[in-house]
Structure 1
């Protein structure tokens, strides 16, 4: 069927849609609520499919906070009594004149994104914006706890609950960070407390190093002195060997005479 445009129609007028029975008022709202929340006045999604058809599809474009979105919800009737029907949900956002997908990884995730964009779930919608035919007393017959939840959603009190939750999360994070910093400070203080002991150990080790260095220098001096003495001894021995060899030569000459 051709697209139906609501341009120029105020939301209040749409919410007070009037007309004779079987003119399609409920079908129009069913199309909107089913596209946005997967909810309608039928018992199940299969009942929304036109008689004789096996599948249906609704595309709904809307604006939220001056941003344009498109929702596409498709449903295929169950092929048999033992197999369930299948529903596909897509969410798109307008960007520079083009639509790009922003669907979640599952139908439930995509549905939650739509609720967050609208800041409105189906229960709040049907008890505040939309009064279904024959269900004008739906809000009044709910339990007090449900009254509180619906009114909180209408007034946006859940936003403050979210802020409170975030504040608690931040406070817990800061508490953990403070505990970690305190532990680090305690560790540093323990290390500082043992600093004098470590300084004494360092001084002792330095003294031992100085003593070893002095011993090494003394050993080097002795080694140098010993080396000099050995050198002179070697020279003296060499000179003696030459003199002995010369004396032996003279002795041999005399014996020959």
Structure 2
């Protein structure tokens, strides 16, 4: 995502950078150098419906670099691109903007596998099948889930439910986006305050895809209490 300008009156964009598996971006490491109060480096993020400005920076003093981590978690973005603008006057050497590092994990989170405990597959019509319940290690809050599956579009559905301490609430309902195609997405479920998950698969009386299934193979949870065997470091994505 590095852009460098060697001329005046520049207005240049980078290509898009897409977070692996469509994961939410929590923090970005931005670096650059551009004439203070005249030339600017920008970072934009895609929130699912539009590009929103996350950062606008220029040099803090003459010919100095900026170099900082920025919390962008409130924007709920999964893609990034940079932009660099220059006016008619001074050009620093180099004049540039870059996002060198991207953090796609919640600062106090960890990613754990469900070990196929949430996979449900059916081979018959008119099925209505549930998985067993999967509990987050250390009773940690579940922040984000990786949901996959395949089921006849608009007729057969994979569901995900979460336990909020008093009841099971529906978190997601998915079917294939096109004929015999898989869905494969990350979903932010942090607002539901759930600590357990279970899946469900329903089919009607017509077409069965091969295989017809739903699964949540990976879950991001708040870091559990001290002593949990699941304690782990966060993932880092280098851009």
Larger radius of gyration: 1
Higher RCO (CA-CA < 8 Å; seq separation 6+): 2
TM-score w.r.t. the length of structure 1 is: 0.20
Structure 1 or 2: more strand by fraction: 2
TM-score w.r.t. the length of structure 2 is: 0.21
